[in-house]
Chains A and B, each alone.
Chain A
Amino acid sequence: MNKTGIIFFPAFDWSLGEFHPEREERLLYTQEQIFEEGIMDLPQVRQYSPGVADLFDVLRTQAIFPDLQQHNLDAHLIAVGSSLVLGNALMKKEITNGFALVRPPGHHSGATVWGNRGFCTLNNEAILINVLRAKYGIKKIAVIDTDVHHGDGTQDIFYHDPNVLYISIHQDGRTIFPGTGFTEEKGGPNAWGSVLNIPLLPGVGDEGFLYALENWIMPAVEAFKPDLIINSAGQDNHFTDPLASMNVTARGYGKITEMIKPDLAVLEGGYAIEGALPYINMAIFLALAGEDYSGVVESQKPQNTEIGGDTIRSFLTDLKRTNKAVRPSWVFRKEQFLPAGDWVYSEKSIYYDTDGFKENRKEYIRKCSHCGGTVLMISQKTSAFQKAVLARIPFEACPDCEQAGYDLAETFKKLEKTVLLQNQLRDQVHLWRDGREVNPFGG
């Protein structure tokens, strides 16, 4: 029998605004449903109480700019902390799987953070993954993101990381926020193929999702041989979701969960707070607990015509062919500030929709055949002309990449106001302000 851990943290006193989809009652009806069903009384279920994440665990994974004190992180730290509570319970073998039914969500929050985007400020799964690696020595983790939106934040954080496989199945970015997640995005120069994006046509329902899982996603996961599987369990693929146009049912989500068999599922989006969440959360939970979810039936019936059968099969076959055919093309750059080695350059612009500003980022990654490669990100919040720098020495870095990380920090602390060094190899973080090393956690 599975022992399933659950943390239910609806954050009833936190919202992004009265009319905002991410508001207090997002999990109100889910609470009504799961409490009335008595799921906490199932003999194999263990309810945990929420935790608060350590700021160190945040900074190991995400660079919070210009500093932690500029953000109100309370609710986000609890959503992360709760995911960590279940992660610890899993590692201690108290549970065989778990569901962090928490808000706010996190998968749009990336490697550098200037504010809230797509309702996310901290990335629940990414921070969790790096805690599991740092604290428990877990080597390989697969993330399957079943939110309707591309989890661009999670992809951003692990883009150069060969030991984290990020798979996202979502509504095509040309039709929905955040506008990314094309099948050509397959990972950085040292981690090519560790990202798999499956953008779908609007209207795909249970059948299409299950087909993609069976024929593409699960085989990819099996080939990767992860030690752990994490599901970013967004629920906005539901046929009642106000922000998206997919056609998945609650029982479809149950089946998806059954196929993925995640060690941990973390709630992401899902904004049909009446039509979808109470049912999907039940179905996912029951599937995790090994219980029959066939009785979970929405009170509304799907109305859109579903894109199913041959249409979705041939669509996915074509997409798979396209994905296979993509070849990497890297832009190499030489800059004075770069230590020895070959550095691949890219740049991106990140829009923070909640607060309405942009971040421009230049990114350099040290091409390396021994490790994930040191990363440099020079980030600028455009409206405020504020600049900040992140240097990251990856888990299991080789000596050359490690040295490159220190050299970058040394160089940039003299050049820029804010410099953060994430030393994942030695499990340390350092912050410099105006050239002086300061306590990154404030105080």
Chain B
Amino acid sequence: MAAELFKNTKVLVCVGSGGVGKTTVAASLAVLAAKEGKRVLVLTIDPAKRLAQTLGIEGTKDITKVPGQNFAGELYASVIDHKKTFDDFVSRAAQKSEAAKKIFENSLYKQLSTNLSGSQEFTSLEKLYTAYESGQFDLIILDTPPTKHAIDFLNAPQKLSALFSEGVAKWFRDPEGKKSGFFGHLLQTGTRQVLKVLENLTGSQFIRELGDFFMNIEQWQGKLLNRTVEVHRMLVSPTTKFVLVTSFDQAKLKEAEYFSREIKKGGYHLDTVILNRIFPTWLDLKAEKKGGPDQALVDLYEQMKSFYNHRDTLYQQFESRMEKEAQVLRIPDLVQDISDLSGLESLSELISEREQQK
């Protein structure tokens, strides 16, 4: 039986805080979709070595067909190279190669395309959109960067485009307001004061670098803005669904509830919440007291059982609140690192089973 999650779905976005297992969940969902006969692409951020080996994408930069698969569909994978994606975008957007070269040399661009908060989010979405636009895949699954908050991820492109919207850039290109008319001059009084403050804080050299940067990116601002609009349209489309991955700790569950509200508020379609790695598979919460020759071992078992029982209470509260928003699936901790395709298949079967039970 086909998973509900994939029905009429073209894009799946896996979001959640860092360290909850987004990458493995994304890869398992891709395996599940390929088993159902879809031509599927999973875009990942920085997979574990063994997962990268499993997917055949270690050291590759392009979209690669996952080796050793025997599915009804086809499974492709790619690691997002942020710097390259950003550079590709700029090369396409800057009409003259000379202009692109100047941008690449600008020290602020170097910061922007590598370190800057928000740029990985931008490149992830850019890569997703490029694959989506190509129409080559039935389904694309995106593993998102390790942002502290899912919301930061969703807001990043808007933040970036706000910076490049005409208003901001104009300031730095024409701080004296020579090119603007009467209203422009009124506005400029405030502008000059604000820039003066910035100059006091940073120095005139920084302002010059900034001006230079904005001069150079002039050509691709429009493209960036259009792109942001297109990406947003794709993200709010009913064929794009969100999977929120979370793991245990009280604060994380609370955060997940907050995300789910924000995802809804933004007009995105939250479909599934995955509570990942919640219980070790050996654990039987309802088991009677176990016996054994080593009391120390029994004690450890009991200690863990009562710890996980406490967590179970919190999960139940979380689930009853969340179920109004999305389906909630619990996935146990598999202990062994997932190191091959069959590992991903086991996880994908677990996800599928849990979904059928709903």
Co-complex (A, B): no
On B, residues with C-beta under 8 Å from A are none
On A, residues with C-beta under 8 Å from B are none
